[in-house]
Structure 1
Amino acid sequence: MIKLSLANKQNTLSKLILLVSIFLIGIISLIVLHFFFLNLLENLDDKTKNQEAKIQIGEYIVNDLYKIRSDFYEIATTTTNKRSRELILNRLKQRVKTIKNALDILENGGELKRVLRLNIVGHNNTIKKINYIKENKSIVSLESIDLRPKLEQLINMTNQLKLLLNKAELYRSSKNHKEFEKLTKKITRFYKLTPAFFIRITENTRRLQYEGEITLQKLQNQIKKEKMQYQKLELILIASIIFIVLILTYFIVKQINKNAKTLFDLNTQLEKKMQELKMQEAATRGILDGQPNIVVVSNGEEMLDANSALVDFFNGYNTFDDFKDEHACICDFFQDINRKDFILDIDYDGLMWYEYILQNPNKLHKVAMKNLNGLHYFSIVAKKKLLNDKNFIIIISLNDISKEIKVQEQLAKLNDNLENIVDSKTKQLQDLNETLEKKVQEELEKNRAKDKKMIQQSRFAALGEMIGNIAHQWRQPLSAISSTASSMQLQMELGINQKEDIEKSYESIITYVEFLTQTIEDFRNFFKEDKEKSEFDIQKILKNSLSITAASYKDRNIDVLTNFKEDINITFGFPNELSQVFLNILSNAKDAFTNNKIKTPQVTINIFEKDAYNIIEIIDNAGGIDIKNIEKIFDPYFTTKHQTQGTGIGLYMSKEIIQKHMNGLLNVENRIITVNNTTYKGACFTILLPKL
Structure 2
Amino acid sequence: MPISSRCFLIQYTPIIVNSSQIEGCIITINDITQEYLLEQQHKTHEQIMLQHSKIASMGEMLVAITHQWRQPLSALLILIGMIKLNVQNSDHSDAVVENKIEEIIKIIHFMEQTLHSFKVFYQPNNEQKRVDLAEVLDEVVLIMKPIAQINTIELSFKYAKNLDYTVVLYPNYLKQIIINLVSNAKDALGEKSDLTQNSYIKILLDQNEQCYVIRVEDNGMGIQKEFISKLFCEMQTTKGENGTGNGLYLCKLLVENKLNGTIEIVSFANPTIFEVTLKKE
What is the TM-score of this pair, normalised by structure 1? 0.29
Report if aligned partners of 1:617, 1:686 keep a CA contact under 8 Å in 2: yes
Matches within 5 A, 1:235-634: 466-489=61-84, 492=87, 498-554=93-149, 555-558=151-154, 560=156, 562=158, 564=160, 567-598=163-194, 599-610=197-208, 612-634=210-232
The superposition leaves residues 461-494 of structure 1 with CA deviations (integer Å, 9 ceiling, x where unpaired) of xxxx733344554455445444544554455456
Q: Distance in 2 between matches of 1:489 and 1:604?
A: 42
Distance 2:237 2:210 in 1: 33
Mean Cα deviation higher: 655-664 or 562-571: 562-571
Distance in 1 of aligned mates of 2:206 and 2:100: 46
Runs of 4+ in structure 1 over 6 Å off = none
The reply to whether residue 666 of structure 1 matches residue 263 of structure 2 is: yes
Higher relative strand content: 2
Residue in 2 that maps onto 1:652: 249
- Relative to structure 1, the CA distance from residue 484 to residue 617 in structure 2 (aligned partners, 3 Å threshold; closer, same or farther) is closer
Q: Quick one: which amino acid aligns to residue 61 of structure 2?
A: M
What SS class does the counterpart of residue 510 from structure 1 fall into? Answer: helix
Deviations 1:6-29 (A, max 9, x none): xxxxxxxxxxxxxxxxxxxxxxxx
What residue in structure 1 maps to residue 280 of structure 2? 691
The equivalences for 1:126-275 within 5 A come to none
Note closer, same or farther for the CA distance 1:641–1:482 as it changes in structure 2 (3 Å cut).
same
Work out the CA distance in 1 between the residues paired with 2:157 and 2:103: 32
How many equivalent residue pairs?
221
1:528 to 1:488, Cα distance in 2 relative to 1, 3 A: same
Report if aligned partners of 2:64, 2:147 keep a CA contact under 8 Å in 1.
no
Q: Cα deviation per residue 1:399-425 (whole Å; 9 max; x = unaligned)?
A: xxxxxxxxxxxxxxxxxxxxxxxxxxx
**What are the superposed Cα offsets for residues 16-58 of structure 1, whole Å, 9 maximum, x if unpaired?**
xxxxxxxxxxxxxxxxxxxxxxxxxxxxxxxxxxxxxxxxxxx
**Is this contact kept in 1: 2:191–2:221, CA < 8 A?**
no
Shift of 1:579: 1.1
In structure 2, relative to structure 1, the CA distance for the partners of 1:503 and 1:577 (3 Å cut) is same
Counterparts of 1:476 and 1:619, CA distance in 2:
28
Residue pair 2:266, 2:273 contacting (<8 A) in 1 also:
yes
String of CA shifts for 1:280-300, please: whole Å, max 9, x gaps: xxxxxxxxxxxxxxxxxxxxx
CA apart distance, 1:669 = 4.1
AA partner of residue 587 (structure 1):
S
Kindly indicate whether the alpha-carbon contact (under 8 Å) linking 2:61 and 2:147 is maintained by their aligned counterparts in 1.
no
Q: Alpha-carbon deviation of 1:608?
A: 3.8
Q: Distance in 2 between matches of 1:556 and 1:690?
A: 35
| Mapped partners of 1:572, 1:603: distance in 2 | 27
* 1:530–1:577 CA contact under 8 A, matched in 2: no
1:549 and 1:468 map into 2 onto residues whose CA distance is 11
Q: Name the amino acid aligned to 1:667.
A: E
Larger helix share, 1 or 2? 1
Whether contact under 8 Å (2:155, 2:201) holds in the other structure is yes
2:13 aligned residue? none
1:531 Cα deviation (Å)?
3.1
Which one has a bigger Cα radius of gyration? Answer: 1
Contact 1:669 1:685 in 2 (8 A): yes
Equivalent pair of 1:596/1:622 in contact (CA under 8 Å): yes
* Cα distance in 2 between the residues matched to 1:609 and 1:588: 24
**Equivalent residues of 1:666, 1:687 under 8 A apart:** yes
In structure 1, what is the Cα distance between the partners aligned to 2:277 and 2:82? 56
Structure 2: 5+ residue stretches without partners:
1-33, 36-59
- Does structure 2 retain, via aligned residues, the 8 Å contact 1:666–1:685? yes
The residue type equivalent to 2:278 in the other structure is: L
What SS does the corresponding residue of 1:536 show, helix, strand or coil? Answer: strand
Residues 561 and 604 in structure 1, CA contact (< 8 A), matched pair in contact too: yes
Question: Do the aligned partners of residues 490 and 665 (structure 1) sit closer, same or farther apart at CA in structure 2, a change above 3 Å counting?
Answer: closer
Counterpart of 2:270 in 1: which secondary structure? strand
C-alpha separation in 2, matches of 1:607 and 1:488 = 42
SS at match of 1:596: coil
Alpha-carbon separation, structure 1, partners of 2:86 and 2:154: 45
CA distance in 2, matches of 1:576, 1:639: 24
The share of aligned pairs that are identical, in percent, is 28
Q: After TM superposition, give the deviation of residue 663 of structure 1 in Å.
A: 1.4
Which is bigger in relative contact order (C-alpha 8 A, separation at least 6)? 2
SS at match of 1:571: strand
Change in CA separation of 1:642 and 1:508 when aligned onto 2, cut-off 3 Å: same
CA contact 1:526–1:576 (8 Å) conserved in 2: yes
The structural deviation recorded for 1:642 is 4.1
